[in-house]
Structure 1
Amino acid sequence: MIERCFKTGRPCAFEPEESPDQVFVGIPYKNPFKDLFEYGVRPALEELGLSPWIAYEHPSSRDIFCKLCEGLQSSSAAIIDISEPNPNVHFELGILAGTSKPTILIKQKGADVSTDLKGMENLEYDGAEELCELLKKHLTQATTKARTYPKVAGYATYREFYRDCSLALDQSSKKVDLTHIRDEPPQDFEGVSDWFGEVIKWCDEHPYGKVRRLIAVSNDRMLAWAQELAEYVKNRPNYNFEVRVCQWTANFPAINMVIFDRRRVFIALTGFGATETAGFQVSDRLIADYFVDYYNNIWGKSDDLNNFLDRVAKGEICIDE
């Protein structure tokens, strides 16, 4: 995904989410291209269980480049027709180059493309029927690869785990969801307190971003940390840092996680000792969405941090020493 808008320099205000079954189609909606889309491109996509995103089907008063950028980012692959000179084509190809999405270039047989595009591989077609067959063959290869093989990495120690969490944080610009559902505060883990400090720093550097943190408070030491977090939340000028407390009564830690920009998930697994934490990460938009749904479920059933601390102060909730 594009980290920052090329026009404003800020994170995208629309937060597009990639759909694994959507394919961007960059083709002029006029004859003969209109018939090529309706009888060549659309049938090929539908036969493969894919849906087209084409600009004319998404009327909007927004800037045209903003609309195209959103369509490109929310698609898992793209088909671009380069048969005619069109400034939109260069814009679309530039965005696609920045996202590394599978892209199929098509052109009519005999069409003379611009010098900038002559060296790029493309599919030549002579009519809608031939185009349909070509796309079915090549789309199967492109979209299967894009949808089937998420990137996975494993970590034998918590130091390795949080090292790469820090790297992923540096590459994020919109949203970070994380949990710390265990009996030990971060300062019990050498190097981990630095990671939590980096999260706070990220909030300061990304006023348009958002951090949500879920914690469990089961003893005095976790309560002290929760109170520190409450002070930080209180002093946040941008209100981009939220903390909630979930109920966790088991005498072992939960499976903890960090989700970056709805596209990368880090899962922490704790062994017999507190520091015997290993884990893995998955970089895949669809899988990340599953974890976001799970996170939202817990978030919706958890207590606001300040409300929780008020209930503790009133004696409504007892915390173990």
Structure 2
Amino acid sequence: RLISKATMVTLNNLTSPFPTFYLIGIPGLEGSHVWISIPFCCLYAIGLSGNSMILFVIFTEQSLHEPMYYFLSMLSATDLGLIISTMSTTLTVLWFDLREISLDGCIVQMFFLHGFTVIETGVLVAMAFDRFVAICDPLRYNTILTNAKILQIGLVIFMRMIVLLVPTLLLLKRLSFCKMNVLSHSYCYHPDVLKLACSNTKPNSFWGLTGLVLTSGIDTPCIIISYILIIHSVLSIASPTEQYKTFSTCVSHIGAVAIFYIPLISLSLVHRFGQSAPKIVPTMMANIYLILPPVLNPVIYSLKTAQLRGALIKLLLAKRIPMLG
């Protein structure tokens, strides 16, 4: 059945100017896709509800109208976008075995998938800057991170995504696809689509590399430098108790950075050096990379941020009391 579908996709690409791509589920476990969809649905539900609740609490609770929580709301909104951008195709493949997607459909999905990924790296940098100012220059915190400045930072992050991503995806329209276009995941991923092209992809690769340098190539060093300065400032505090109390305000952000970058780096290493690994390995790691941050970020911030945790408990109790009444 899979071979016949793939053959039809190949014939379509040979005879039509509108190429079709073929998504895959979990290699080797096709017969268990319905059962595999259960944990996926649970994780999606946790991510959607957790991030939605954080957004609702931050915008309704006056005490949380501070720079740190504004950046957290950006992170939660981005995580919601990451979940929604891949959830539809992943569940469609797992539930209904519907695998075909057009090039235009791929481009739309990649715009949101890669767009929210680029935005998330920018937000993580902004959150690192927030922690740097709060610890290293606390007296000027409210004058540096004003509402207008936060809005400007958000606009810069968004505009950077548009400028880098739109040309990258539009360049795909000039490519020819003339073979069995079987992708490696249950969603469209730019390098995955690019390697299936039959025509010259050097402009695409160049612009993609430029975008990588201008995002991760800048964002990662900025986060590292911020924490070097933060650590230097914290170590200058005489009291170990004060050192612990100050550095504990960064734990949530460090956790968010770790669960975003560790799966990303691991997936890149597997794609580059793990050609002999079973196909299920990169597929599962790719799904983990997209699902893990949206699921764990609300948990980490709820557990480690007392003010946010108190607001969430207040919200849950307020909803429970009318129900009991």
Give the TM-score of the pair, scaled to structure 2.
0.24
- Greater strand share, 1 or 2? 1
> Which of structures 1 and 2 has the bigger CA Rg?
1
Give the TM-score of the pair, scaled to structure 1.
0.24
Q: Which has the higher contact order (CA 8 A, sep 6+)?
A: 2
